[in-house]
Structure 1
Amino acid sequence: MTSDIRKLQLIDTDILKDVVKTLDRHHLNYYMIGGTLLGAIRHKGFIPWDDDMDIAMPRRDYELFLSKFARELPTNLAVDNFKTNKKYKYYITRIENTDYKVREIRNQNIEDSFAHVSIDIFPIDGTPNNEFLRKFYYFQVLSYRALISLVQKDNIDRARKRSALEKLTIFIGTHLPLRRLFSANKLQYKIDRLLRKQKQNSEFAGTIMGAYRVKEIVPRKYFGEGRLYEFEGHKFKGPSDYDAYLKHMYGDYMKLPSKEQRESKKHFEII
């Protein structure tokens, strides 16, 4: 583990501690998800070679936090999302520690490209219970996501493994003048309206705007009310049925990945 990664991990943990204090004060629910939850279960903290942190909140709690309570965070923590910043590249919200600058690895060739150390917060949204409607919903969301990526072609992760069809789509899309035809920010609002109108008591729910897209939709019961898990010497909440969630996401989740896979998990570098 490099010292930079460990420094990022500790800053992220401090951000989460401050966020959770606010969430707990107002009885808002949240869950560690993805690699953050995997780290909690397998390592009782960060995955040693990972440098980002993800939590998710039920849509109602997510909106309440952003609209009413995020202002209670310490002054060095800032909320960044597509509603507060028209140039913001993602749908999800980031809570940034403005004391520390980083560069995303995927953007290292973009001049003057930097961000701040941050954690990601995803809304948990329902999906249609009807299987056909659910697949159509997936198609709509993923189409908007793909279009945003092509409009913001400099932000595409070129190192990510993709199918031949994805590679062809990226090649064609990045050679079209899509920036003249579409606004990424307006497309983000279209996604927002689509996600927000989904039933919040549906059988399946999840964080479709995450890196794993549709795979992040799971039976809602996996989340439950949540339970506390050890993480870097603290206790943070995760899904009630962590085992079912992690098996769905990663299969044999206690098995360590190869050295090559570990190297690919680095997202940021301190500048």
Structure 2
Amino acid sequence: MTSNIRRLQLIDTDILKKVVAVLEQHQLNYYMIGGTLLGAIRHKGFIPWDDDMDIAMPRKDYELFLNQFAQELPDNFKVVNFKTDKNYKYYITRIENMDYKVREIRNQNFYESFAHVSIDIFPIDGTPDNKFLRKMYYFRVLFYRALVSLVQKNNIDRARKRGLLEKLIIFIGTHLPLQKFFNANKLQYKIDKLLRQQRPGSQFAGTIMGAYRVKEIVPRYYFGQGKYYEFEGYRFKGPSEYDAYLKHMYGDYMKLPSKEQRERKRHFEIIS
């Protein structure tokens, strides 16, 4: 398992290095986020038991990269999102290295499908400053996000810890023929329309389409212009206020998780 994870980590790092080269050439901003930032601060690289990589970009830079500069990536790289592939399961963008195949562990058709080694790129979007309007915004985005998951029920992460209400919604939703009434790709476009309502000066911003959903919305100044942190022998950018960001996300982030929690971090198994 260890060698498999390490191989994935090194391929991911190479993808990020080449993506960052394009971003920096065109002066586009980006940040390591989530477990990738945590790994940089706590381990100077990957969390040893983690096998994916996440970065985020301000919405304007994210769109410029996808629309104008992504074609400068190596020929064996592929940019995938719900706009390039109507059957794509996620809102976010993945940069795939087509030379390497993986199986996504949470996929119920684990032994019948494969993807490619990739890193994830999230857009950073603002939120309404008014507290009530912000909560309404969260509700609308999360409603459509939940509906997408229920329409694509085979993609639901069954191993994830959830509350009773969420478990009940999943149980009911996955037993209804929602795919007959809703198209997942059209729902992704509805989410996109909500997120793209530019609020460049808002007090709060973040990556609501990440695994932690609303928790990934933080005071905008946490991101700032960004600072460089060591990662697997390279230096990549992360939020300027990394300590505040990581405390918000993880609490005592320097404390190592239990062995059981470490096992749950696996996302992929490399197959070639």
Partner residue of 1:73? 73
Letter in 2 for 1:128: P
Letter in 2 for 1:54: D
Contact conserved, 2:108 with 2:155, CA < 8 A, in 1? no
CA distance in 2, matches of 1:83, 1:111: 27
Of the structure 1 ranges 191-200 and 210-219, higher mean CA displacement relative to structure 2 is found in 191-200
Q: How far 1:198 moved relative to its partner? A: 3.7
CA distance in 2, matches of 1:108, 1:7: 24
> Secondary structure of the equivalent of 1:94?
strand
TM-score (norm. length: structure 1)? 0.99
Partner residue of 1:250? 250
1:49-88 mapped onto 2 (5 Å cutoff): 49-88=49-88
CA distance in 2, matches of 1:123, 1:3: 32
Q: How far 1:109 moved relative to its partner? A: 3.3
> Secondary structure of the equivalent of 2:45?
coil
Contact conserved, 2:97 with 2:116, CA < 8 A, in 1? yes
CA distance in 1, matches of 2:194, 2:51: 31
TM-score (norm. length: structure 2)? 0.98
CA distance in 2, matches of 1:192, 1:133: 18
Q: Deviations over 1:174-204 (max 9, x none)?
A: 1111001000000000000000014121000
CA distance in 2, matches of 1:191, 1:73: 27
Q: How far 1:270 moved relative to its partner? A: 1.0
Aligned residues: 271
Q: How far 1:108 moved relative to its partner? A: 5.0
CA distance in 2, matches of 1:265, 1:177: 31
Q: Is residue 2:118 matched to residue 1:104?
A: no
1:42-191 mapped onto 2 (5 Å cutoff): 42-107=42-107, 109-110=109-110, 112-191=112-191
Q: How far 1:24 moved relative to its partner? A: 0.3
CA distance in 2, matches of 1:232, 1:150: 37
Partner residue of 1:236? 236
Letter in 2 for 1:245: Y
> Secondary structure of the equivalent of 2:205?
strand
- Structure 1 stretches (4+) deviating beyond 2 angstroms? 108-112
Contact conserved, 2:5 with 2:51, CA < 8 A, in 1? yes
CA distance in 1, matches of 2:52, 2:110: 21
Partner residue of 1:264? 264
CA distance in 2, matches of 1:12, 1:110: 21
CA distance in 2, matches of 1:122, 1:93: 7
Partner residue of 1:30? 30
CA distance in 1, matches of 2:108, 2:115: 11
Contact conserved, 1:106 with 1:158, CA < 8 A, in 2? yes
Letter in 2 for 1:207: T
> Secondary structure of the equivalent of 2:22?
helix
Contact conserved, 1:223 with 1:241, CA < 8 A, in 2? yes
Q: How far 1:110 moved relative to its partner? A: 4.5
1:187-226 mapped onto 2 (5 Å cutoff): 187-226=187-226
> Secondary structure of the equivalent of 1:106?
coil
CA distance in 1, matches of 2:192, 2:241: 28
1:14-29 mapped onto 2 (5 Å cutoff): 14-29=14-29
Contact conserved, 2:101 with 2:117, CA < 8 A, in 1? yes
Of the structure 1 ranges 194-203 and 70-79, higher mean CA displacement relative to structure 2 is found in 194-203
